[in-house]
Amino acid sequence: MAEEQKVILVTGGTGLVGKAIQTVIENDKRSDEKWIFVGSKDADLSSKSDTEKLFKEHRPTHVIHLAAMVGGLFHNMANNLDFFRINMQINDNVLHTAHLHNVVKVISCLSTCIFPDKITYPIDESMIHLGFPHTSNYGYSFAKRMIDVQNRAYFDQHGRIYTSIIPCNVFGPHDNFKPTHSHVIPGLMRRLYDIIKTGNTEDKVFTVLGSGKPLRQFIYSLDLAKLIVWVLRGYESVEPIILSVDESSEVTIAEVAEELVKAFDFKGKIEFDSSAADGQYKKTASNTKLRKLLPEFQFTPFHQAVKETVEWYKTNYQNARN
């Protein structure tokens, strides 16, 4: 019997996570899978008609839905309404068009930063809806949380196995290094490289905003991509799953800065500007569920992932999102 061809459409396929999936799939091709990666130039997913056209063109059987309006702290704070409305539109268009086209599986992307602000740690998959998110990004957070609501309702009403993944902070090649948009690692990388490009660094100071003490979990985009491919091929549940490094791999912002300094071979001094806000001290997420299902998964050591990302950035600086 001929094997059934899966057609896997990846929305947000041109971004940090989408590009990482492209890289992983290059080395892990299967004859029964056809992968299609699309970005906003292929279809504006906040438009229903664009979304329908895209699905008509590619006829996917599976969807990895990564596309989202994303941004840094200040962009979120100033635009909570837009973050809510645009992400709700994108998610509703993708999920409902997938349903109408009989797509058998959709994996959508939530984030550990959408959890309640006041919560006990470590956070786990059962806590998404337990309280108000941090006020800085409540628009983004509620729109993301609604994906989980929609997934449950598509199951209840139509028996669909549409699920969601919850990554911690992601970094890697093809990240967004624009100061207004960037997360902590690409933000610090961009600032440090700007200093390095001015020449001899021995008398230079790399200023890191905040005390350097907050703890964060970072997942390398290529590790996340491998896990997403595993979810596609082997995880059959509507219930969300946290895709994060272990709790023991949490690092301080100071450690992040030190790894970057090593990777760039910066010879100057690091200083912490404690007058700047630190944000939450920690947001530890538990990957117990993932570890039960995939105990042997090896995450790339943090220093190696930082080194590879820095090498990529130096080589691709001209074409990076700066």
- Strand partners for 206: 270
Which residue stretch of 121-129, 164-172, 199-207, 281-289 sits at the interface with ligand NDP (rule: CB under 6 A)?
164-172
Is 140 designated active site?
yes
Buried b or exposed e, range 183-197, using 16+ CB within 10 angstroms: bbbbbbbbbbbebbe
Distance of closest approach, residue 51 Cβ to ligand NDP, in angstroms: 8
In sequence order, the β-bridge partners of residue 165 are 109, 241
Q: How far is it, in rounded angstroms, from Cα 118 to Cα 135?
A: 11
Does position 69 interact with ligand NDP (CB under 6 A)? The reply is yes
217 touching ligand NDP, by CB under 6 A: no
Residue 319 C-beta: closest distance to ligand NDP, Å: 13
Pick from 97, 111, 164, 287: which binds ligand NDP (CB under 6 A)? Answer: 111
Tell which one of 21, 24, 66, 192 touches ligand NDP (CB under 6 A): 66
Any idea which residue has 């998964």 for tokens? Answer: 297
String of contacts with ligand NDP for each residue 18-47, x by CB under 6 A: x--------------------xxx-xxxx-
The answer to whether residue 179 forms part of the interface with ligand NDP (CB under 6 A) is no
Say whether residue 187 binds ligand NDP (CB under 6 A).
no
Question: Does 185 sit near ligand NDP (CB under 6 A)?
Answer: no
Three-state SS for 162? strand
Nearest-5° Cα angle at 273, 269 to 275: 165
Please state the separation of Cα 302 from the chain's center in Å: 16
CA distance 108 to 106: 6
Q: Pairing mode, if any, of strands 6-11 and 62-65? A: parallel
Residue closer to ligand NDP, measured from CB, 196 or 224:
224
- Among 140, 193, 235, 313, the active-site one is 140
Which pair of tokens denotes residue 273? Answer: 């500007």
> Which are the catalytic amino acids?
140
Site residues, ligand NDP (CB under 6 A)? 11-18, 39-41, 43-46, 66-70, 90, 109, 111, 167, 169-170, 176, 183
